Amino acid sequence: MEKSKLLKSLRFRIIMLLILVSSIPCFVVKQVIIGAYEDRSVAWRTAEIQEQCTILSHHLATSDYLNNPISGEVDAELSMLSNIYNGRALIIDEEYKVVKDTFGSDEGKTIIAPDVITCFAGSGTSYYDDEARYLDITTPILETEGDTTTVKGVILVSVSTEIIYETMDVMGQNANMIIWALWLMILFIGSFITNQMMKPLERIAKGMEEVTEGYDSNNLHVDTYAETQNISEAFNKMLGRMKILDDSRQEFVSNVSHELKTPLTSMKVLADSLLMQDDVPAELYKEFMEDIAEEIERENKIINDLLSLVKMDKKSSDLNIKAENINELVERILKRLRPIAAQQNVEVLFESFRPVVAEVDEVKFTLAITNLVENAIKYNREEGSVHVSLNADHKYFYVKVADTGIGIPQEDLDHIFERFYRVDKSHSREIGGTGLGLAIARNAVIMHRGAVKVYSEEGVGTTFTVRIPLNYIA
- Residues contributing to the site for ligand ADP (CB under 6 A): 371, 375-376, 379, 403, 405-408, 416, 421-424, 428, 433-439, 462
Instruction: Report CA Rg, the chain.
Output: 52
Q: How far is the CB of 471 from ligand ADP (least distance, A)?
A: 29
Q: How far is the CB of 408 from ligand ADP (least distance, A)?
A: 5
Beta-carbon count within 10 A of 325 CB? 13
Q: How far is the CB of 312 from ligand ADP (least distance, A)?
A: 13
Kindly tell me which of 330 and 438 has the beta carbon lying closer to ligand ADP: 438
Kindly tell me which of 101 and 305 has the beta carbon lying closer to ligand ADP: 305
Kindly tell me which of 96 and 252 has the beta carbon lying closer to ligand ADP: 252
Beta-carbon count within 10 A of 121 CB? 9
Q: How far is the CB of 392 from ligand ADP (least distance, A)?
A: 23
Kindly tell me which of 242 and 460 has the beta carbon lying closer to ligand ADP: 460
Kindly tell me which of 416 and 445 has the beta carbon lying closer to ligand ADP: 416
Q: Are the C-beta atoms of 408 and 276 separated by less than 8 Å?
A: no
Alpha carbons 262 and 314: distance in angstroms, whole number:
27
Q: How far is the CB of 302 from ligand ADP (least distance, A)?
A: 9
Alpha carbons 89 and 49: distance in angstroms, whole number:
11
**Cα separations in angstroms, 282 against 139, 269, 270, 278:** 144, 18, 14, 12
Q: Are the C-beta atoms of 57 and 66 separated by less than 8 Å?
A: no
Distance of CA 405 to the CA centre of its chain: 53
Q: How far is the CB of 5 from ligand ADP (least distance, A)?
A: 52
Kindly tell me which of 232 and 443 has the beta carbon lying closer to ligand ADP: 443
Closest CA to 140 of 99, 95, 91: 91
Q: How far is the CB of 406 from ligand ADP (least distance, A)?
A: 5
Largest CA distance in the chain: 165
Kindly tell me which of 187 and 451 has the beta carbon lying closer to ligand ADP: 451
Q: How far is the CB of 467 from ligand ADP (least distance, A)?
A: 18
DSSP string for 222-241: --SSHHHHHHHHHHHHHHHH
Kindly tell me which of 228 and 443 has the beta carbon lying closer to ligand ADP: 443
Q: How far is the CB of 398 from ligand ADP (least distance, A)?
A: 17
Contacts of 6 (CB under 8 A, 6+ apart): 12
**Cα separations in angstroms, 138 against 57, 282, 389:** 11, 141, 106
Kindly tell me which of 263 and 407 has the beta carbon lying closer to ligand ADP: 407
**Side-by-side strand order, sheet with 385-392:** 347-352, 385-392, 396-403, 461-469, 451-457
Report the run of H or E that residue 187 belongs to, with start and end: helix 162-212
Kindly tell me which of 200 and 433 has the beta carbon lying closer to ligand ADP: 433
Q: How far is the CB of 228 from ligand ADP (least distance, A)?
A: 44
DSSP string for 144-158: EETTEEEEEEEEEEE
Kindly tell me which of 58 and 415 has the beta carbon lying closer to ligand ADP: 415
Which residues share a beta bridge with 141? 153
- DSSP summary character for residue 111: -
Kindly tell me which of 419 and 448 has the beta carbon lying closer to ligand ADP: 419
Q: How far is the CB of 343 from ligand ADP (least distance, A)?
A: 17
Please list, residue by residue across 183-198, b when 16 or more beta carbons sit within 10 angstroms of its beta carbon and e when fewer do: beebeeebeeebeeee
Q: How far is the CB of 315 from ligand ADP (least distance, A)?
A: 23
Which residues share a beta bridge with 389? 351, 400
Q: Are the C-beta atoms of 92 and 153 separated by less than 8 Å?
A: yes
